[in-house]
Structure 1
Amino acid sequence: MKRDGSKSEAFFLKKLRRTILTLTCCLFFSPVFSQEIIIKQLKQDLITAPRDTNKVWIYRDLAFYYQDQHSDSVIYFADEGAKLAIQLNFIRGQIWSLYQKALALEYLNRFEEAMEVFAFMKSLSLQSKDSLSLAKVTNAIGVAYYYQGIQDQALENFQQGFDLSEHLGYLEGMSQALNNLAVIYRQQRNFRRAMEVHQKSLEIKNSQADTVGMINSHYNLGLLYAYLNDYPKSLLEFQKADALSSNTASSHNLAEINIGKAVAFYHLGNDTLAYKLLSEEVPKLKPDKIHEKAAALTYLGIVEIKLDKNGINKLLEARELLENSDRLELRRLLYKELALAYELTGDPGRSVRFWKEYNLLNDSINNEQKAWAIEEMQARFDAIEKDKKIQQQEMALFSEQSKKKNISIILTLLFFAFTISLFFYVKKWRKQVKIRQEELEQKNNSGNLDFAKINLKMLSPLTKREIEIIRLVEEGKSNQEIANQLFVSENTIKTHLKNIFSKTEANNRTDLIHRLHRY
């Protein structure tokens, strides 16, 4: 929508003030306090903003800043933004207003409703042929499935999101999809593949100077090295993420990074520092970080037991969180620590029960890892066979190159010979046509009919082509003979004769010649 100059300038100044205020808050105030100030400013802008696309983004921004505070407000402002976007036929604004609504529904554990919103966003992207939004939405759907523990659907959507982003050259989308794929591979205990994909994602983020993305990649690499029991490297990756986060308004929860560092410190023998970080950071975790909280409580319980504190309560709380989880390694660790804890407290019955559960999970994990190893080995053999076939095909192609080269030379020479022959043939044909036309002109000029005099008396003069046809008609030639002589089709001759009869009001060929002689 267009606005007059004064309104446009005033709105621009408001946006500028809001941007400066946002940056100031991020630099000098706590996140919660700065969000309250931003929300207050956005609400003021909402009152005075014209009903245009900028107002849609204000609604979307309000929904965004309310995500961590009030889900009902998120849904309200997201719906208002989507409604205005529909009225303005602003499909992209509608899509990304609805995105905030879908996130809020996820947070409220209304997964089916969230997926309906995501599906509608995807249909809007396809309808408007907005490939960039489609790539982003597809990746977001994968994240939604991931947090519900539906890994197959998550993996499929992440791969689709990567393919779409790669096709568009959208590097940020590629790196995000790769990061998410790597997380799935890590949970499937396909650690080699997870490491390759994480490194590839980090390379893209480094090339784009994507600080937030780099933080997430280093954090995930820290987790991956922890799964591989390489805790010095794990701690190094978490420290890199922490260093980047200290000077950046990161979207990543800093509590998760510090908990990762605490786990590394624990395995490196620094129980005191591990306990300090865990006890400080566990309460700061977001409510939706269930697995992260369960892992942190598990390690906090372990450390408390080692420091002669009552850590069993923390372990039992973690067990409750992991009751139906598919995170097998985490559950295995938890059952082992519970078994050891009950041994220390003199409760052998419970200790034996958890040792049994630990052994069952351990066997399940080992069998799954063997299956992955067999699958990886088969994939490598397939790759080797594929390489062999490619090499054989290349050798076969190379052996035929000399033959094809000679054939190509012969065909090239034949082509040039044909082209030269065709050139001279066309030149000769044009010369013959010119001679024939000159003969016809001479013959027409020698006729008895005076067409200059005839055209002066006619309402619609005869054309040069029509005069040629009349002279041939006077000679008694048929339509086909005239067509052959003039190098046109018989239908063309019939059309010309129809026009001639109309101009001269003649009934037939004989009447035509008689009428023209009377002029």
Structure 2
Amino acid sequence: MRLAYQNQDSTKVETSLLLINELYAIEDYTKALLFIDQTSELSKTLNYEKGLAETNYIKALIFNNQNDQNNAVANFESARSYFMAIKDTLGIAKVNNNLGVIEIQRGNYKKGLQNSLSAISIFEEKDLKDDLSKAYNNLAEAYYNTNKLDKALQYNKKALSVREELDDLEGMKYSLKNLGLLYALKNDYRRSIDNYERMLTLLDPQEDQDIRGEIMPSLGKSYLAIEDTDKAADYLREGLRYSRRQKDDLGILKSLNAFGELNTKNRNLKLAENQLLEALKIARRLGNDEELLYNLKLNRDLDSRRGFYEDAFNWQNQYYELKEKLDKEKLAAIPVPDNSTEEAQIETPPLIESTKTEEPEKAVITSEKKQDILLVYGLIAGLVFITALLIFSYLKGSKDSKAAKTLTKSNKELSLKNLQLEEVNQVKDKLFSIVSHDLKDSISSIKAFLDLLKDGGISKDEFNDLIPELSENANNASSLLFNLLNWSKSQMQNLQPKPELFNIQEVFQIKMSLIEKKVNDKGIILIDESRREFVYADRSMLEIVIQNLITNAVKFTGKGDVITVSNQDYNGKVLICVEDTGIGISEENQKKLFNAKKNFTTIGTENEKGTGLGLTICKDLVELNNGRIWVESTPNIGSKFFIELPKAALSE
């Protein structure tokens, strides 16, 4: 009623603004907007720019709270124009700070920083601590999202300091959590722990359970990094228990990943495998690339420690492919200035784009990262070649040595040994020819692209197109070496099985997760009909066999084809089947599949290369475990590969 008794002058506008602010404070936005429209019209009639500035500002705040960012930005910019006209630097600063928040939320970090930086000097000068706290937090978030961790730390510390002065408990919790995360990213785990632990002391046992559950995995990871495994286990256990109770998939994912790392370090490898497999499924379902990247690294480390080098290499390929994608996304963020408020003067319209060109720097960074990837591939191929040569040299020496010892025996034994040695040498020579040719092709290809890159002979777009081919070359070389290593071990009779009872379904699940991306890329349907059943065999050997069979199925199928894995009880044994609806195998070629001397290999549906060694190794490994392997196939219909293995130890 105060407004009705006042004259239509600026005093009435000021009184109306007081009422509008009261309505905004109690979140009665409908009435507030009604009075804003009336007050704005009155201000226009009186040509009262301060009233127009304030009404547009509050209207923008309301739209922002209602998640109507477009209208919020339009009204903030209108308010800023009026504040600039009356030279109200504080009003400009408040508008810029709010615009900074919106631009940062939109991912426009450069604009967000410009706006927030322009506001801070005014807030500092006028000692407006609440506004300073928000501005510091905006800057910290923008710098974090543009990977400038030192700057993010600097402004999070400033925000924490102001929030401590204001006794802002919620703000302190938020800043301490951010500091814990940032110090962990900088590998300063003790400071990370200090901030997380301090945050825990501020939490309410009843009201802050969600926050506590959220930071438990992060705190556990930091303790794990400083080798305090007992505390790491305590925090991770609490975090996992809470997340499962709350059905918080992200919390479960983080806890399982960290637990997987802990159990790998403690050599609880079976437990680590189960935890990482569950985490992998959750990460892919949630589309959480950061945790998926961490999971791929942990799976690589786990399989490397177990001696499953082919699996480890597959995990590594997936890791670097995802890492490159994430690096590209980070580089796509607009670079932001590191300087202070001189970069965004208050009197200058702060949303004007900088004319400084950032592309050259971006191109250099991208090129350097990709060059590093190529160098890694080149080193891998080179090491593969050297290792292969050493294997053949050792194999030849070993066989010759055995043959020499046999010469002292009877002439009959000598003739037999010479015949065996001749057969082995024939196979070895054939394999050496294959290895030399395939590795030479891979290394020559990688070297050619490196030379082009060094001489500036390829563009950025052309280079991007070459990455999959280079990765495939490295994969082929690695696969060749892997198969060759296992074959050479079996030929030297050093490959002794260590049978145990294990669930075959778990092996299927792990191996299918490794080829999931390739299956999706080729448009293949993968069906898992496996069931829980125990096999008595050397698990690592059988994993090699299953990996080869599934990889072959993917190789010889195309879009719309189906791959099915299954197992069943058969005459008291376990019958494993990997079936596909691919191109099939002729009866003549089926006879060559398991014979190393024939060296039979064909090109896949997408011209994938093979070595001709995989199925030979599968046969050797299955037979070493008292089993048998065979194939049933019809051209253009598909193939079924069967493995029969015992369920228990054979009686002597």
Higher-strand-fraction structure? 2
- Could you say which structure has the larger radius of gyration? 1
Smaller-chain TM-score bracket: 0.3 to 0.5
For normalisation by structure 2, the TM-score amounts to 0.37
For normalisation by structure 1, the TM-score amounts to 0.45
Q: Which has the higher contact order (CA 8 A, sep 6+)?
A: 2
